[in-house]
Structure 1
Amino acid sequence: MTSKQISQLISADGTPTATAVSAPGCFVHDDVPIAKHPDITWGKVFSEPSNGNSVDFYVTGEEYFAAVADAIAGAKKSIYIAGWQVNFDVELITGNTLYECLEKAIDSNPALRVYIMPWLSPKLGVNTGDFETMLAVYQLNAGLPPPVRAFALPAIAQSDMAGGLGIGFSHHQKLVVIDEVRAFVGGIDLAYGRRDNGRFPLAHEGRVGNEVYNTCIPPIHELTKVEQVNYLTRNELVCACFDGFLAKAGAWWESASGRPVATVLDWKRAGSDFAKDKRQEVSDWWNSKDLMPEFIRSLQDKPVEAVDDLTRWTYRRINQSLNGKLDRLRQTGSAHVSTASAALVAWLNHASMEQLPAEVRQETIKIIEMFGIAVLKQLSVSADNRPKRYKNLRKVRKMLPPDGKVLSPSQPRMPWHDVHASILGPAVSDLSRNFIRRWNSVAHRYEVSYRTRAGTEVSALFDAFGLRPTASVRLPRISPSIPKKDQSKHGKCWVQVLRSAPATLQRDEQMADRAGGTDIRGITHEQNNCLKAMLTAIYGSQKFIYIEGQFFQSEYGADSSRKRVKDNVGPMSILTDIESVPGYEKYAKRLGIYGVSWDEIPSKVKWSEYDDVARDIKAGGNVFVNDLKAVLGNIAAIKGSLLAGKPQERVLNQIGEALANRIEKAIYDGQPFHVYMVLPVHPEGTLNTLNIMSQTHLTMQSLVFGSESLVNRIRRAVRSIEIKNSKNINLASAKAIVNDYSLKDLEEQVGDRWKRYLTMLNLRNWDVLDGRPVTEQIYVHSKLLIADDRVAVLGSANINDRSQLGNRDSELAIVVRDDEQKSVNLDGVKPALVSSCVHGLRVRLWKKLFGLTGGAHPARSLADFVEKPAAKETWEAIQTVAYANAQAYKDAFPFLPSVQSEPSSIWPTWNNSNRALDYHMPFNERFWRDDEVRDMAYSWHAKTRAKEKSPNNIQGFIVALPVSWTKGENNLSAMNLTILAKTDPEIVPQQTVASTTQPTRTEVNG
């Protein structure tokens, strides 16, 4: 990457006595400090770079999934799959699920062994379907002669964070290895929604159930019970793993065979008045269709309470010490349970675990983990020995969508943009070694955990399921078969495998590694290879940097927003500050809670007045009660996150600083340099969810508003060099002048001149569905950095603390550099040698995002600029198209943020003067239903949606990031910043009744 001076021996006539070779400068090594960060303790690198690799890149999920399906079909010896989310029923190619591909491969090759390692999601706020995948994988062994061929071992989080903070972190690697000779690594999980193409369609196009993926809007179509029997359920898969009459009866009742019964239940539901009775908040769901076979129901200390039809809501107290006061505040089907055993049953029946009482949470995690271990053991002697596989895995094929609700045809799916790679060559051994060590370490942890937790309660619990826990359990290990030195060479690429790996994880690996013994004293630091590689690439870049990232949260100095939420007029205050609720003074006094802190309200409420206030519909008392419940629920979630452990005070990683340093150097040296950044509009999830709002806040502060944000750092450098030149003073004196500027003065003095060095983009598409114009963001999930088309850093590590610091989530990435070079005129002035494969990757990505490879509205004006990313006319042309697109979208869809200089709220239809929405936002179910006036559930609700229209003259998929969006608003919810670093919504999302305010989810990776 960087220029190097090479000393060389020469003969008397000046000719070299030997060929001089420059060592690759883009890789990272042990104990080598990074410029400007010599004080950081760097963990040891996971592997050294190796050459002789062939690397292919996939720029759509569709082509990646097809390649994986083809590789699985050709597997001879082993298949390793690791992921944050692995869904057995995801379609790799149309009509063929992952389960079906694995089934065919195993049946055709008796020597093949399959190992699946998804993250063991905590089920408390996020459920990625790992349990169902485990159950399905073990069905693969049914009907086959020994030995066992398919194994599933969910990976627990192995972070270094103390206490409850550890629950918030995850196994985030995304890896497939075939026969230890071919590996797939990058940002794409084998999961719902990821299989997309370069057209980014919003229409469902044959996708059904969970494949119609969009967690940014609420699904509005409730599946009838007849429709539900076309899907598998979690209980059904549990029942299918056991022998005996009750298990078979339970599986039948949950299966498509129950269609006649379901028809009757649909008729019964249609004639029921339960759903209309909001005071009672009960339904006939559990009574009319008991989801629990008798042998499962025996677990319960008391029945799971009635819930509101398919949404399964019930209300319960904030915690067990409040004597039943405000018992309707707990708005999930798990909130009422008092034991971990009952919580397990509720979870098996698709009840959300998010609002589980605090005193039950920790034990529930242990119980679910133990249950998983026991199922692993039981399946080795039960499902493995079944005479045949459970037929509905092929007949029904797909899991029941969350809450029994799906998007209607009038609602857009969310297109997905991501990048992955395939490798042949020596680096595959490093990727295989990572999987094998992870697998063996997890197996070791499970065995230790099993021995220490197999107590009376666990034994009784397992007995109820027909499981027979023993004093110990032995899980399968994997031994590597192809050493790195024996790997064939297939190409000219250098590849280095990187990890973010906590010291805890490394110690577990060493404990499980028989060759390494059990001495773990040498492991003192986390591996933060991904951070080191990104910083190396940034500081070594010469002409341009291209970043695609799901997140950009980096250290940004002082927050520029109002410090206190209650001083804020934005939406966060209405969601988290009781005193901001309209009617507070009037109704709080009536209820006896005026001036009372939130945690004392349940014990202070005058219950004699509560029902009267709730019935005061004409004056808005019912709306006040709804606001009050929502605010208390949100505050409870914030307090709960703070109980997990001490929050850090600020974002810590230095990637933003490194980018700013590199741009400042270019400005002070008078050299052209440009950074392109492609990010999602906001993190995946609804914009009325506290952690999504908070993370949007962190991103905008990191990029634009923070005192040391990337944009403000560039502004200071631009203004400093202008003052230096105009006043003919030294740079230090010019910097001193600029440092005295306020942020407002800095912005006004520099204007848009910072855009000479930085282009920030979002992605978007639109369509007409059922006669209505609709739009949705294209979700950028990539974790990619390209520098000068010479080096690429690609993998699972996002730009935030969770991924980069090394002591939290486990991550996997690669650095790629190609010895096969190509001469490219990057800056439009002088040819430069670049890595052929890395250059090809960026060109394909740009053509895709410009709509030149299948878009309905291609940006043909940008076609001539694809090959010269460092040229001034290139970033000018891209910015022009992106800005025009953003303005056209805003004109057509008023709920989008403005790209103009005036600030817009995080809810762009928010009206500060009356502290309410003028029009519905897409996170509200009412936005997607008939446009009619309705009673407001919350004081801030709108009564209608703004008129939409088809946008004009859209070119490609790029839109300018709205740099004034959320300016001045405090959208930081006071959640625990240590775990609030990134999110992916749960696959079983929070269920709502009248509310559109989602309870805050536990922060996890995606």
Structure 2
Amino acid sequence: MDALKLSYENYGKEFVEANRYESFAPVRECSCRSRWYVDGSTYFRDVADTLEAAREEIFITDWWLSPEIFLKRPALDSEYWRLDQVLLRKAKQGIKVYVMLYKEVEMALGINSFYSKQKLMQHDNIKVMRHPDHASSAVLFWAHHEKLVVVDQNYAFVGGIDLCYGRWDDFFHRLTDLGSVADLERAGHFQAPVTSSTPAGSQLPHTLLALAQGTNMVTIGTVTNAEQAKELPVEMQPHVMSGDVVDAALAQDGDGSEHGEPDEELPMKGETPPTHRRRIMRNMVRMREVASVWSHGIADRSRRHLHRGSSDAEGEDGPAAAAEEAVVAEKAPQAQAAPVTAAVVAAEAGMLDEVDANRVKKLTAKLWFGKDYTNFIVKDFSALDAPFMDQIDRRSVPRMPWHDISTGVVGSAARDVARHFIQRWNAVKVEKLRFNMDYEFLLPKGYQTCDSIPEVLSTPSYKTKCQIVRSASQWSAGIKDTEDSIQQAYVDLISRARHYIYIENQFFISLCGINADVSNRVCEALFQRILRAHKDGRGDGSKFRVFVIVPLLPGFEGQVGTAGGTAIQAITHWNYSSICRGQFSLLKRLQDRGVNDPTEFVSFHGLRTHSELGGKPVTELIYVHSKLMIVDDDTVICGSANVNDRSMMGNRDSEVCMVVEDLEFDEGVMNGEAVKVGKYAGAMRRHLFKEHLGLLETPNDDVDVNDPISDAFYKGVWLKASSKNTDVFEKVFRCIPTDSVKSFAQLQTFQAEVPLVLSYPSRAKEMLKDIRGHLVDLPLEFLESEDLTPDLGTKEALVPTYMWT
């Protein structure tokens, strides 16, 4: 009893007494080292390194998890940094791995959590649970939306980035990833460069493995069909798979010169091959293993494993697997192949020396394999059990770049994240697996050792105080009372902001005032703070700014103005109803209260980029998936919560965020006056401004992002760059959304006109040189004459309004 009393008095009472924002967790005043991650590349890398350092246990929960994603890219080391392989490797080392996945409504979502579970559970130390069971729990509309990774209850990642397809990106936000994809009409042979180990006058073989597009024709040397391939010795018969033919550029050495004549044909059955051919034969088994990593879906071992784990399978080579193979093979010609190339296979098989092997692999490697190369407005995800099969043609369709934010923390706040995960795990265990002894209950660690946790990452960290806040309720976390501490934190931080508020979010659905359709108070708090700034400004001229960045269009498959675009239009309706349309919108209410020019205080933006694909300029919006707010360069709230009722109300989607407050400061400036700015929040905000203005890619000493609220920056840099970029994009591409289109009739006319990029391509390319960064205006007049709510008779009209809000 004395031990229990001591534990309660020293460590336990903070979980039963009132905390700020009515959160389950207190503010951690010390022993917290925090990091921020802009875009997924550095986030995935640090997650990989932290997982690799695990010594006891790993917790992961995601809205969607794709087992085959590569955490470090380009993936030149085969499968080593593939997520499922990392977790399997740790499990074999004795590390316990616990994963919770959102169990989707399959008719509504195609994220296939069953496949993810089956693919992950390859060892007794890996346990996966899916939740909720919709029929038995009557939870049909809400989701587990958290994105958490916790290692040893010491290191935690909290943010908006799921470990799934499409999330890996960096500040370049590339539209293309052709890797080794070549124009197959120009398909030739792979002629490796002469190396120091290659005898004079001899060459390595031509194409080792390739599958011609639209056929099942295997090419080995000059063997041109499957029947001829059968005549080869067993060790040389290829594992039939899709692959791209190496571009002609790869047949040249470093200075661009070609060597030698095409080599002779490979020997047929019964002939004794020359020495260097026998070496190739010995490497065929290794080549097959390597190829499976890069293969189309035909050679994908993960799909065969799914059959082994399913109840209706009859073994790896049984009828079910064979039928699946036949289906995938039949579909293969219509899909663009994943990056299997003769060059990569040769390099991996040890048939080139180290220098040339590395050169070839770098030239042929892709950053996004198969399903990871995505544009979900063009086509949503499907056939996830064929992970390396492209679902869009990367030679003609640009990918949709992904902008996202996450945070990392070491110390007591990480223990709080772990405690939340454990609470959820144990609640699901009780609900679904109470008597299954293979799934154990979890226990949280104490907080006595938080000051002595070693660092495992080299990424810069900052001394901060942190608080974990969440949206949680009985259905999502097994707790009696609903917790909406995320919403309370947003409202409080907005009301206390002194200089600026910077928001990036996937949604902006929060009406001002009292409205029955939308209940969260974020927009009302912004309205009150801006109105106060307007009144204060008339007295002393002080500046206050609100920056908001959201996606240009919601992330649903379909096209605006068509039957398939109903979901996109529904979300667009609620976003614009919150921003600028109707009596409850933010801008309308500000104007009604005397703020004649709301852009003096608040501006709304999206992100867009351009590139060349097939020699022609292309453009695509950058999808903003962030859930971030920065205030005054000293406070950040970041996590999985969107600005909408689903995330904010507590009893709907489950969410976790982290409030980070700086404890270390630098000299800074706001509206020309010296102030103290936090090292964590200030560095994060400046990085984001530089990324959006193109200053990371092309530094410009004439642009100073240190003072975000001065007229010189806000009007002379930020708004000016956004307006200029918007103008160029619309003139060159005639892209939507745009203020030029206010009705569906105008949309048809607008899209029927030939854009400058087609009518005058040389002029278009010249104009595109004026674009700086990715920042563009959010077109507030787009389709303002139309009712964008779902029409009666559509499936979208059948679901309740709160599904969209």
- Which residue does the alignment assign to 1:241? 309
> Partner letter of residue 687 of structure 1?
Q
Q: Please, which of 122, 128, 135 is the counterpart of residue 111 of structure 2?
A: 128
Quote the Cα distance in structure 2 between the aligned partners of 1:206 and 1:184: 31
- Which residue does the alignment assign to 1:968? 785
1:477 aligns with 2:440: yes
1:75 aligns with 2:31: no
Quote the Cα distance in structure 1 between the aligned partners of 2:730 and 2:46: 38
Quote the Cα distance in structure 2 between the aligned partners of 1:966 and 1:676: 23
- Which residue does the alignment assign to 1:116? 99
Distance 1:861 1:775, change over 3 A: farther
1:481 CA drift (Å): 5.0
1:783 aligns with 2:623: no
Q: Contact conserved, 1:132 with 1:234, CA < 8 A, in 2?
A: no
Per-residue CA deviation, residues 948-991 of structure 1 (Å, 9 max, x unaligned), is 94453101110111121121211011634544336xxxxxxxxx
1:405 aligns with 2:391: yes
Quote the Cα distance in structure 2 between the aligned partners of 1:100 and 1:674: 46
- Which residue does the alignment assign to 1:193? 166
Q: Please, which of 129, 141, 146 is the counterpart of residue 153 of structure 1?
A: 129
Matched position secondary structure for 2:71: strand
- Paired residues in the alignment total 607
Which 10-residue stretch deviates more, 971-980 or 781-790?
Answer: 971-980
Which structure is higher in RCO with an 8 Å CA cutoff and minimum separation 6? 1
Q: Contact conserved, 2:419 with 2:444, CA < 8 A, in 1?
A: no
- Which residue does the alignment assign to 2:654? 810
- Which residue does the alignment assign to 1:464? none
Quote the Cα distance in structure 1 between the aligned partners of 2:802 and 2:670: 40
Unaligned runs of 5+ in 1: 1-26, 34-41, 142-147, 209-220, 271-346, 352-396, 449-471, 510-522, 559-647, 720-749, 922-927, 932-943, 983-1006
Quote the Cα distance in structure 1 between the aligned partners of 2:127 and 2:614: 45
> Partner letter of residue 417 of structure 2?
L
- Which residue does the alignment assign to 1:639? none
Per-residue CA deviation, residues 508-562 of structure 1 (Å, 9 max, x unaligned), is 25xxxxxxxxxxxxx2x3100110000010000001000011110011579xxxx
Quote the Cα distance in structure 2 between the aligned partners of 1:698 and 1:92: 35
Q: Contact conserved, 2:395 with 2:613, CA < 8 A, in 1?
A: yes
Quote the Cα distance in structure 1 between the aligned partners of 2:320 and 2:134: 38
Q: Contact conserved, 1:57 with 1:421, CA < 8 A, in 2?
A: yes
Quote the Cα distance in structure 2 between the aligned partners of 1:433 and 1:781: 26
Quote the Cα distance in structure 2 between the aligned partners of 1:489 and 1:409: 51
Unaligned runs of 5+ in 2: 1-13, 76-80, 182-211, 217-240, 243-295, 336-380, 454-461, 792-796
1:421 CA drift (Å): 1.0
> Partner letter of residue 90 of structure 2?
A
Q: Contact conserved, 1:233 with 1:400, CA < 8 A, in 2?
A: no
Per-residue CA deviation, residues 468-527 of structure 1 (Å, 9 max, x unaligned), is xxxx64451243352123312676311000110023334x25xxxxxxxxxxxxx2x310
- Which residue does the alignment assign to 1:391? none
Matched position secondary structure for 2:694: coil
Aligned-pair Cα RMSD in Å:
3.8
Quote the Cα distance in structure 2 between the aligned partners of 1:949 and 1:253: 51
Quote the Cα distance in structure 1 between the aligned partners of 2:782 and 2:308: 51
- Which residue does the alignment assign to 1:458? none
Distance 1:793 1:137, change over 3 A: same
Q: Output the TM-score relative to the length of structure 2.
A: 0.69
Q: Contact conserved, 1:443 with 1:476, CA < 8 A, in 2?
A: yes
Q: Please, which of 16, 38, 57 is the counterpart of residue 59 of structure 1?
A: 38
- Which residue does the alignment assign to 1:663? 530
Q: Contact conserved, 1:556 with 1:701, CA < 8 A, in 2?
A: no
Q: Contact conserved, 1:199 with 1:851, CA < 8 A, in 2?
A: no
Quote the Cα distance in structure 2 between the aligned partners of 1:149 and 1:762: 44
Q: Please, which of 672, 678, 682 is the counterpart of residue 835 of structure 1?
A: 678
Q: Contact conserved, 1:682 with 1:692, CA < 8 A, in 2?
A: yes
- Which residue does the alignment assign to 2:421? 435
Distance 1:157 1:782, change over 3 A: farther
Matches within 5 A, 1:370-769: 399=387, 405-447=391-433, 473-480=436-443, 482-488=445-451, 492-506=463-477, 508=478, 523=480, 525-556=481-512, 649-670=516-537, 671-685=542-556, 686-688=558-560, 689-719=565-595, 750=596, 753-769=597-613
- Which residue does the alignment assign to 2:775? 958
> Partner letter of residue 690 of structure 2?
K
Matched position secondary structure for 2:175: coil
Quote the Cα distance in structure 1 between the aligned partners of 2:760 and 2:550: 27
Per-residue CA deviation, residues 81-114 of structure 1 (Å, 9 max, x unaligned), is 111011101111122310122233333x23x111
Q: Contact conserved, 1:84 with 1:172, CA < 8 A, in 2?
A: yes
Quote the Cα distance in structure 1 between the aligned partners of 2:501 and 2:127: 42
Matched position secondary structure for 1:72: helix
Distance 1:885 1:231, change over 3 A: farther
Distance 1:242 1:557, change over 3 A: closer
- Which residue does the alignment assign to 1:182? 155
- Which residue does the alignment assign to 2:90? 105
1:255 CA drift (Å): 9.6
> Partner letter of residue 75 of structure 1?
A
Per-residue CA deviation, residues 178-226 of structure 1 (Å, 9 max, x unaligned), is 1111111111010111110110100025499xxxxxxxxxxxx998786
Which 10-residue stretch deviates more, 57-66 or 963-972?
Answer: 963-972
- Which residue does the alignment assign to 1:568? none
Distance 1:907 1:662, change over 3 A: farther
Per-residue CA deviation, residues 669-718 of structure 1 (Å, 9 max, x unaligned), is 22321000111101112334212111011111111112131112332344
- Which residue does the alignment assign to 1:981? 804
1:125 CA drift (Å): 1.3
1:262 CA drift (Å): 7.5
Distance 1:45 1:138, change over 3 A: closer
Quote the Cα distance in structure 1 between the aligned partners of 2:535 and 2:772: 35
1:233 CA drift (Å): 8.7
Q: Contact conserved, 1:502 with 1:809, CA < 8 A, in 2?
A: no
Quote the Cα distance in structure 2 between the aligned partners of 1:536 and 1:98: 38
> Partner letter of residue 497 of structure 2?
S
Matched position secondary structure for 1:88: coil
Matches within 5 A, 1:789-868: 789-828=633-672, 830-854=673-697, 858=698, 860=700, 863-864=703-704, 866-868=705-707
- Which residue does the alignment assign to 1:625? none
Q: Contact conserved, 2:147 with 2:640, CA < 8 A, in 1?
A: yes
- Which residue does the alignment assign to 1:92? 71
Per-residue CA deviation, residues 780-820 of structure 1 (Å, 9 max, x unaligned), is 11100111011101000000000001110000001000111
Matched position secondary structure for 2:803: coil
1:61 CA drift (Å): 0.3
1:906 CA drift (Å): 6.7
Quote the Cα distance in structure 1 between the aligned partners of 2:492 and 2:610: 38
Per-residue CA deviation, residues 616-669 of structure 1 (Å, 9 max, x unaligned), is xxxxxxxxxxxxxxxxxxxxxxxxxxxxxxxx9512211111101100001112
> Partner letter of residue 714 of structure 2?
W
Distance 1:920 1:505, change over 3 A: farther
- Which residue does the alignment assign to 2:720? 880
Quote the Cα distance in structure 1 between the aligned partners of 2:142 and 2:134: 8
> Partner letter of residue 868 of structure 1?
D
Matched position secondary structure for 2:408: strand
Distance 1:701 1:266, change over 3 A: closer
Quote the Cα distance in structure 2 between the aligned partners of 1:946 and 1:967: 32
Distance 1:92 1:399, change over 3 A: same
Distance 1:408 1:264, change over 3 A: closer
Quote the Cα distance in structure 2 between the aligned partners of 1:695 and 1:247: 45
Distance 1:412 1:759, change over 3 A: same
- Which residue does the alignment assign to 2:144? 171
Per-residue CA deviation, residues 556-595 of structure 1 (Å, 9 max, x unaligned), is 579xxxxxxxxxxxxxxxxxxxxxxxxxxxxxxxxxxxxx
1:265 CA drift (Å): 8.9
1:58 CA drift (Å): 0.9
